[in-house]
Amino acid sequence: MLSRLSFILFTLFLFAYSLNSYSQYLNQSDLERKRIELTKEINNIQKLISSSKNQKKLVVENIQNLNYKLDLQNEVIKIINNQLNIISASINNNQSVINELFKSQELLKSQYADMILRSYKTRSKTGKLMFIFSSSNFQQALKRIQYFKQYSDYQNNQLQQIEKNTVELKALRTQLIDEKTIQESLISENQTTKNNVSIQLLSKNKLLQSISSNEIQYVKEIKSKQKTSAKIDKEIQKIIARAIAESNRKKKITSKVFALTPEAKILSNNFTSNKGKLPWPVEKGYITLKYGKQPHPVVKTATIQSNGIRIITASSQNVRSIFDGVIYRIISSKNGSKTILVQHGNFFTVYKNLASIYVEKGDRVSTKQNLGKIITNKNSGQTILSFSLFKDNKTENPLLWLGQK
């Protein structure tokens, strides 16, 4: 009875372990997929750096690319650490199961050996028959026949369980070897990535030194780009101001904020309630420029004013709406780039530097719906989205509204 109870408890232990292993497998599989994607993107960024490292005009872009690459590499290190934690836990679990299974196996073998010995000693068919025929009544004879049958069945079950345990032990030991091999490979890759990060930091410092030797020229270029950006921002603010005036005209009131319809109020409230949880306008990316007045992220002596954020991402990436809304306006610039304004009640989100557009003015869009493709600069190879967020006609810091990547 005790042996049977132990077997049931051990079976339940194996079942719980298998569920845990399946959950770990799914998590590990997801992490591995992310690691492979990031590694591909790191290789793509490295190609951009390698192809433009001798072009003096692209020093700032190269530093931005290096920053993006460092960000991706640090993400890979985090993922590998998580993978190693899962594998270590799995190795420990597997080892525990192997130990328990081995103990169970030894117990089963011992019990089976005892049964075989007893069977050998009582192997005479005549003895069994005499034992049955010596019964005092038919009922007792029937019980003795059932006893011999149950004993035989129990022997067979013990043998089958020993064979099953042998197969499971072999599989677990193979899995343990495979996991340790993967563990060693990930540790090696993690160290390689960390070494690479150190090398990239040295390269970045060298590029920063080259900027300091010709800083005046870089500051001029940054100011020129700021003027171009400011023109587009003023145009956007005029568009939003006209939209506010139009909403107030319909309700015959005067205000500097939107006069919202009941439907637009619900949309605005929903947008507000999702502050800090809104999805990113791209699936993945690295912020090269934050919101507000600040030193240039690369040329520190240059001060810039940013009405939004700039995100460097992979080539051929789509931009997506961060919330439900309506396409209010599409702006086409002389240089061929396009800008989309999406209205969410009294909020506007602005997506700049687009090559192609998938929507039209007046279209209703949903959260994470693709709006267009971001331009990839032919000279630098960079793919950068400029993203802004307005409440009525005032800019907001997008990073306070967006959630984690």
- Give the three-state DSSP class for 358: coil
CA distances from 117 to 3, 110, 113, 263 (A): 18, 11, 6, 85
Which of 16-25, 45-54, 175-184, 243-252 is the least confident region?
Answer: 16-25
The average pLDDT across 86-105 equals 77
The secondary structure of 274-314 as a DSSP string is TTTTBPPSSSS-EEEE-SEEEE-SSSTTSEEEESEEEEEE-
Name the pLDDT band for 1 (thresholds 50, 70, 90): very low
Asked if pLDDT for residue 154 goes beyond 70, the answer is no
The pLDDT of residue 198 = 85
Selecting from 3.40.190.10, 3.60.20.10, 2.70.70.10, 3.40.50.2000, what CATH number does the domain 215-400 have? 2.70.70.10
**For 138-148, what is each residue's pLDDT tens digit?**
676 677 666 65
Question: pLDDT averaged over the chain?
Answer: 80
Q: Whole-angstrom Cα distance, residue 286 to residue 297?
A: 13
Confidence of residue 62 (pLDDT cuts 50, 70, 90): confident
Contact predicate 28/83, CB 8 Å:
yes
- Separation of alpha carbons 262 and 114, rounded Å: 83
At 228 the pLDDT is: 81
Look at 70 and 16; give whichever has higher pLDDT: 70
Average pLDDT over residues 345-364: 96
- How far apart CA 300 and CA 287 sit, in angstroms, is 16
- How would residue 2 be classed by pLDDT, with cut points 50, 70 and 90? very low
| C-alpha dihedral sign at 260, 265, 270, 275 | positive
Q: What's the token pair of residue 9? A: 């408890």
pLDDT of res. 38: 82
Is the pTM above the cut of 0.85? no
Q: What angle is formed at CA 146 by the lines to CA 141 and CA 148, rounded to 5 degrees? A: 100
Q: Cβ contacts of residue 226 below 8 Å, gap of 6+?
A: 304, 305
Query: Is residue 103 a contact partner of residue 165, using CB atoms and an 8 Å limit?
Result: no
Say yes or no to pLDDT of 9 above 50: no
Domain ranges of the chain: 2-212, 215-400
